[in-house]
Amino acid sequence: MSQPVHSGYRPTLWERLAAAPHPSVSFESSFWHATAPAGPQTRRLEGEVRGKLAVIGGGYLGFSTALHLAEAGHEVTVLEADEPGFGASGRNTGFAVPNLLTGLDPRDVKATFGDERGTLLCRMLGEGGDLVFELIRRHEIDCEARQTGWMQPLHTPAKAAWLDDRIEQWKALGRPVQRLSRDEAVYETGSDQYHGAFLDPTGGHLNPLGYVRGLAHAAIRHGATVFSDSRARRLERVGDVWRIETEHGVLIADRVLLTTNATGGGLSPAAEGTQFPITLFQVATKPLDPELRKSVLPNDRCSADTRKDLIAFRWTWDNRLVTGGLLANPLGSAERGRTHHIGRLQRLLPQLPPLRVAYAWQGRLAAARDFMPRLMELGPNAWSAIACNGRGMAMTTALGRQVALWLGGGSNEGLPVPVTRPDPVLLPGLASLAFSLWLPMNRWKDAQDLKG
C-alpha cells in the first residue's frame, strides 16, 4: 500500500511497519486501477469553506452516505485524503457479499445487538447485495457488475452441519439462500475439493474501484461537494461548529461523520482506538484461455470458502482470475504474497495451466474486536462509523443509506446498530500483530479439517 504523502499525516507505528516493505503493491498497481473508468474531477479544499454536514473519508461508506443524503436534498461535503476509492473500497476483491464472516451468523448478531436491532442489521445486510446492484443500475455505474451470486463452498464435510444451520438462519430471515450439493459445488467452482456450498444469488462481483468512483460521480451529480487530496489533519469543536483543518484549507461544519476506515492517521484517536488494521494481499493473473471459463466458475459466480484462512476467487471480464487474502507475515516480501496466493489457487484448481501474476496490490481494512459494525458518538454532532468485517462492500453501502436516513432527520431508533461511545481495543497495534499470529494457528486447523 502506498503511503499518502500529504504533510500532517501521522501513520501509526503499525501502519508504517506494515506498509514499508511493499512499495510495489500500491493503489496504482492494482488491476482495478488499470481498468476502472476515471473518477470525478475534483479539487482540493483551499481557503475557508462553510458546510452543513462533513463526511471525512471517500470510500463506499462515505459516498453511500453522501449520495443518499444528496438525493434527499441535503447539503453534504466529502473530504478525501487522496482520491475517491483510495482506501479499501478501491482495492478489494470486488465481491458484493450479503453475509458476514464465517463464524458470525444472524444468531451472533442478535446476541451482540439484541433481537430487534440484530434482526434489523441482518435484514439490512441480507438486502445489501440487491442494494449495490440496484444503485449501479439506477446511477448507470460502469463497473463490470455481475449479480451472478456469491458462494461459500465447504472445504471439509465436517462443516456440513454448521453450513446447514447457517443457511437455515438466513432462510428464517426470508433470504433466498440455497444449499448446493457436493456435485453442484464441484460444478459451480470447478474444484473437486469442495463438499457442498452456500449460495446467495443476490451477491455478485464487480470492479470495486469503478463502483466507488461511480458512487462519487452520482453523489456529485445530486449536489454533494467532494474535495480530494484533502486529508483532514485536525478536527476540533469551536463554539457550536466543527473546524476541520486540511493542509490548504478549513471546512467549518455543523455536523461531522468520520468514515476513514483503517487509515485515519490519528484524526480521531478515540475512533481509531476501537479498531485494528488488517492488511490483505491481492493478485490478478494474466488473461487465461476463455474456454477455461466453461469449467471454472461456469456461471461467473464469486467464491470464498469456509476455511478460516479462506480461499476466494473470481473471474474478471477479460478472463483473469483474481484471488488473495492474508499473509502470515504482512511484513514479508511482496514476492511471497504473489507466490503464496497463486500457489493456493493452483492447488485448488490443478486443471489450470501454470498461473502467472500480472497485477499485485494490497489494502487495509479496519476491524472492531468482535468484527461487527460500529456507529460511535465522538462529541456533539460528530460521529464515526466503521462497517468493515472483511465483507464490507454490501455492508458499508447499506449502512451508508441508513446513516443518511438518520442524519437526514430520521430517528436513531431505526438504525441497525446502536450509537455508542467508542470502546477502545487495548493497543490496536498489538491486536493486529495478534491477528497475524492467529493465522498460522488457523492454517493448522484448516489442515486438520482436511485430514479429518
Residues at the interface with ligand FAD (CB under 6 A): 56-62, 79-82, 86-89, 91-95, 97, 231-232, 259-261, 263-265, 267, 280, 282, 363-365, 387-388, 390-394, 396
Least distance CB 58 / ligand FAD (angstroms): 5
Q: What is the DSSP letter of 292?
A: G
* Residue among 120 and 388 whose Cβ is closer to ligand FAD: 388
Least distance CB 235 / ligand FAD (angstroms): 8
Least distance CB 448 / ligand FAD (angstroms): 26
* Residue among 231 and 338 whose Cβ is closer to ligand FAD: 231
* Residue among 158 and 250 whose Cβ is closer to ligand FAD: 250
* Residue among 214 and 265 whose Cβ is closer to ligand FAD: 265
Helix axes 106-113, 115-126, angle to 10 degrees: 140
Cα 125 from Cα 223, distance rounded (Å): 27
Q: Which residue is nearest to ligand FAD (CB)?
A: 392
The length of the chain, given as a count of residues = 452
* Residue among 282 and 306 whose Cβ is closer to ligand FAD: 282
417 to each of 175, 372, 403, 413, how far by Cα in Å?
20, 9, 10, 9
Cα 27 from Cα 443, distance rounded (Å): 28
* Residue among 39 and 392 whose Cβ is closer to ligand FAD: 392
- Burial call 424-448: b when 16+ CB within 10 Å, e when fewer: ebeebbebbbebbeebeeeeeebee
Reference 56, options 301, 316, 251; nearest CA is 251
Least distance CB 331 / ligand FAD (angstroms): 17
* Residue among 158 and 431 whose Cβ is closer to ligand FAD: 431
Handedness of CA 443, 163, 128, 40 (dihedral sign): positive
* Max Cα-Cα span within the chain: 66
* Residue among 339 and 351 whose Cβ is closer to ligand FAD: 339
CB 74 within 8 A of CB 409: no
Least distance CB 5 / ligand FAD (angstroms): 12
Reference 262, options 65, 8, 67, 12; nearest CA is 12
202 to each of 126, 264, 338, how far by Cα in Å?
9, 32, 31
C-alpha cell at 141: 455505474
Look at phi and psi of residue 114 and say left if phi exceeds 0, alpha if psi is from -120 to 50, else beta: left
* Residue among 56 and 345 whose Cβ is closer to ligand FAD: 56
Least distance CB 112 / ligand FAD (angstroms): 18
Least distance CB 181 / ligand FAD (angstroms): 25
CB 81 within 8 A of CB 263: yes
Reference 356, options 341, 373, 370; nearest CA is 341
Least distance CB 366 / ligand FAD (angstroms): 7
Handedness of CA 227, 233, 236, 238 (dihedral sign): negative
Least distance CB 396 / ligand FAD (angstroms): 4
Least distance CB 60 / ligand FAD (angstroms): 4
Beta bridge partners of 384: 258, 376
* Residue among 81 and 349 whose Cβ is closer to ligand FAD: 81
Least distance CB 132 / ligand FAD (angstroms): 9
* Residue among 95 and 170 whose Cβ is closer to ligand FAD: 95
List all residues 6 or more positions away from 255 whose beta carbon is below 8 Å from its beta carbon: 52, 53, 54, 242, 381, 382, 407
- Burial call 87-123: b when 16+ CB within 10 Å, e when fewer: bbbbbbbbbbbbbbbbebbbebbbeebeeebbbbbbb
The count of other CB atoms within 10 Å of the CB of residue 385 is 27
